Structure 1
Amino acid sequence: MAPCLARMTLVVLAMAVLSMTAEGKKDKMLYCSACRALADELNYSISRVDPKKTIHVGSFRLNPDGSLDDKKVPLARSETHLTELLEEVCNSMSDYGLHVDPDTKEKSYKRFAPRDSGGGDFPDLKHFQFDGPHGSESLKFACESIVEDYEDEIISLFTQGEDHVVDTLCSKLSGHCRSASSSRAEL
């Protein structure tokens, strides 16, 4: 009975060690790329909204004097619109691929698919490595993790129209892009 208990203890201990190792460190390049892609996709989506469109915000309750506390804000940077964008933004990670800089050999995920159906704007694909759905699924998972962890902060940054959203979100808030070289990288 004692040898069986000892084996079970060893198995449980080994599983605990392996699970701690599996949780381990996040891939910095992957999470930095996902954060930058997330910010870039949100900026693009916001830029596509007609600036004349507005949305009513505030309370729809009547005040004692019969008036409403209702105001209009631009739709593009409204909390409602940004929440909707955050629900879908990570689906666009399939438009990104692993890019290897030809000079520095530095790797990062960058957009390879053009945004408009009019063609053009194709990057030089010879510097991309396409590792099948695994790469874009990893990037999508990293994006979803960032959205889950920083949803309120992302909405706050974009509603305020922060100038340096990518640096603020990816370097200062999340810490995914701390190195000097990744803060200079373009999408």
Structure 2
Amino acid sequence: MAPWASHVILVVVAAAVLIKTAEGKKDQMLYCSACRALADELNYSVSQVDPKKTIHVGSFRLNPDGSLEDKKVPLARSETHLTELLENVCDSMNDYALYIDPDTKEKSYKRFAPREGEGGNFPDFKHFQFDGPDGSESLKFACENIVEEYEDNIISLFVQGVGDVLDMLCGKISGHCKGSLSPHSEL
């Protein structure tokens, strides 16, 4: 082997290690905010469905006695409905911006746009930083990563009707909200 070849190999290995280390580090504030926003958006969407609406689940196979096994479940917490919600939930990240708490100076992404039916309930914009499309795109990217990685867990939490989805998903399951980024912080 040529004397310079060992140096080239060493440089390539060092570069690969550094790139892999940089890739693996996620912005905790961004991912915690995305997780909290995702849970909030899903909770809101589920709450907007008429509780009287149901969906048929089960199979279309006949039992040996000739009866059909058919079961109705509430639409809002059905796997079908939740899967549909997950397909588009990250699009709502455009309604979030970087918020700096005036007291603690802690940064997180929070919803600034009122939802339909909330009227003109606009927050105090002086504590928001609008980074243009870059800010919401990074939040949307983080949201999509969370959905992709934890889709089954998310659906399971909502189907089971777990009380505090935000705490379970963002704190215990994904671990995105730890330390000073408490999952109980106000959205």
- Counterpart code for 1:28: Q
CA RMSD of aligned residues (A): 1.7
- Counterpart code for 2:34: A
Cα deviation per residue 1:113-159 (whole Å; 9 max; x = unaligned)? 11116641111111001111111111111111111111111111101
- Aligned counterpart, 1:186: 186
How far apart are residue 184 of structure 1 and its match?
Answer: 3.1
- Aligned counterpart, 2:160: 160
Range that drifts further, 48-57 or 19-28: 19-28
How far apart are residue 54 of structure 1 and its match?
Answer: 0.5
How far apart are residue 14 of structure 1 and its match?
Answer: 3.9
**Partner SS for 2:77:** coil
TM-score by length of 1: 0.93
**Partner SS for 1:109:** strand
- Counterpart code for 2:125: L
Structure 2 alignment gaps of length 5 or more: none
Cα deviation per residue 1:1-44 (whole Å; 9 max; x = unaligned)? 82553454244224313312321321111111111100000000
Cα distance in 2 between the residues matched to 1:114 and 1:103? 23
Cα distance in 1 between the residues matched to 2:137 and 2:184? 25
Cα distance in 2 between the residues matched to 1:83 and 1:99? 30
How far apart are residue 62 of structure 1 and its match?
Answer: 1.2
Task: Report the count of equivalent residues.
Answer: 187
Cα deviation per residue 1:70-108 (whole Å; 9 max; x = unaligned)? 110000000110011111111111110000001110000
Detail structure 1 runs of 4+ shifted over 4 Å in the superposition.
Answer: none
Cα pair 2:29 2:181 within 8 Å, conserved: no
TM-score by length of 2: 0.93
> CA, structure 1 residues 25+150, in 2 after alignment: closer, same or farther (shift >3 Å)?
same
- Aligned counterpart, 1:175: 175
Counterparts of residues 27-106 of structure 1 (less than 5 Å): 27-106=27-106
Cα distance in 1 between the residues matched to 2:180 and 2:98? 20
Cα pair 2:56 2:71 within 8 Å, conserved: yes
Q: Kindly indicate which of the two structures has a greater share of residues assigned to strand.
A: 1
Structure 1 alignment gaps of length 5 or more: none
